[in-house]
Amino acid sequence: MTHVVVAVDGSAGAARAADWAVEEADRRGVPLRLVCASLWERCGPGPDDDLVGRLREAAHGMLAAEATRVSLRRPGVPVITELLADETVPSLLRAGRGSAMLVLGSRGHGGFEGLLLGSVSLRVAARADFPVVVVRGPARTETGRVVLGVGSRHLPGRAADFALAEAACRKAELDVVHAWQQDVDFSGLSALLDPSPARERAEALLTAVADQLEHDGAGVPVNRSCVPGGKASALLDAAVGADLLVVGCRRPFGRLGPVPHAMLHHAPCPVAVVTD
């Protein structure tokens, strides 16, 4: 049995991430693991008035309170808590291994040193070899729509599988979006060529991906959208009103590509970054 991991730090952003994560765990029928990274946990016990001891106690109290809160939201989901005695990024990368996903808030600081979530989300997403979901946008009623971004250089693998599984467990539709741009004459004239070949290549790629998803999808409705223009703008438009946006990532040189990076900064809905 796998599980869903969510990082919390006492902030409003982390609470929204925990709300999203417990719903996800409930859908999948798996436990939820609430984690918080704190270097204070490395320190041994001290006197009752010791500052480090009080900070450790506060962190444990925050985790317990968050566990109680999400358990009330979904009473049937087993909730496990753990205070991670390490720096935030490496501890979250270890915590996410073997999980269905690691869920993070888009930003926030709960008041404890070393518990910052925000820039941490970008660094974790850039290094993880498991799905990372960053919860963006306000809490709202689900619409039954998952969006998958399809790149131009390769057919999606794990990202497409993840998006299809998310749509299936949500009983949602899957919108497959591929953006394309016209070919350019590099002879020195900087002239735009006939757009038909570029559009035809894009449509052929999208058709191949969507047909495979429909074959594997066990009844999940698959919608196709081939959009002229930039990839980031096409995905941001498609993500409006969506329950989840899924993007694949190859992480060249241990960094996020420009499209996943833009989605984590600007998407109006939760974003899943999945290594393809």
Is 60 exceeded by the pLDDT of residue 108?
no
Q: What is the pLDDT of residue 253?
A: 58
Mean pLDDT of 171-195: 77
Domain membership of residue 79 (yes or no) is yes
DSSP, res 39: G
Do 99 and 119 belong to one domain?
yes
Domain end position, chosen among 135, 164, 193 = 135
Domain membership of residue 110 (yes or no) is yes
Q: Which of 186-200, 233-247, 249-263 has the highest mean pLDDT?
A: 233-247
Mean pLDDT of 22-31: 96
Summarize pLDDT for 36-74 with one digit per residue, the tens: 987 655 555 555 557 667 777 888 899 999 999 999 999
| pLDDT confidence tier of residue 254, bands split at 50, 70 and 90 | low
Is 90 exceeded by the pLDDT of residue 157?
no
Q: What is the pLDDT of residue 273?
A: 95
Is 50 exceeded by the pLDDT of residue 114?
no
Mean pLDDT of 91-109: 88
Domain end position, chosen among 135, 170, 197 = 135
Domain count, the chain: 2
Between the alpha carbon of residue 77 and those of residues 27, 33, 67, 70, 80, the distances in Å are 10, 10, 11, 9, 10
Do 111 and 21 belong to one domain?
yes
Do 126 and 194 belong to one domain?
no
Do 175 and 68 belong to one domain?
no
Do 87 and 209 belong to one domain?
no
Do 243 and 268 belong to one domain?
yes
Do 9 and 71 belong to one domain?
yes
Q: What is the pLDDT of residue 111?
A: 44
Q: What is the pLDDT of residue 153?
A: 64
Domain membership of residue 140 (yes or no) is no
Which stretches does DSSP call E strand in 95-243? 101-105, 132-135, 145-149, 173-180, 222-228
| CATH classification of the domain holding 80 | 3.40.50.620
Is 50 exceeded by the pLDDT of residue 1?
yes
Do 69 and 92 belong to one domain?
yes
Do 189 and 114 belong to one domain?
no
| pLDDT confidence tier of residue 110, bands split at 50, 70 and 90 | very low
Mean pLDDT of 133-158: 84
Mean per-residue pLDDT of the chain: 85
| pLDDT confidence tier of residue 91, bands split at 50, 70 and 90 | very high
Range of the domain at 19: 4-135
177: left (phi > 0), else alpha (psi -120 to 50), else beta? beta
Do 127 and 9 belong to one domain?
yes
Between the alpha carbon of residue 174 and those of residues 117, 186, 244, 245, 252, the distances in Å are 29, 37, 10, 10, 27
d(C-alpha 2, C-alpha 151), whole Å: 29
The answer to whether the pTM exceeds 0.85 is yes
Q: What is the pLDDT of residue 112?
A: 41
Do 270 and 149 belong to one domain?
yes
Domain end position, chosen among 107, 135, 163 = 135
Is 70 exceeded by the pLDDT of residue 107?
no
Domain membership of residue 151 (yes or no) is yes
Mean pLDDT of 228-246: 94
Do 174 and 271 belong to one domain?
yes
The answer to which of 30-34, 49-53, 193-197 has the lowest mean pLDDT is 49-53
Is 80 exceeded by the pLDDT of residue 165?
yes
d(C-alpha 196, C-alpha 126), whole Å: 36
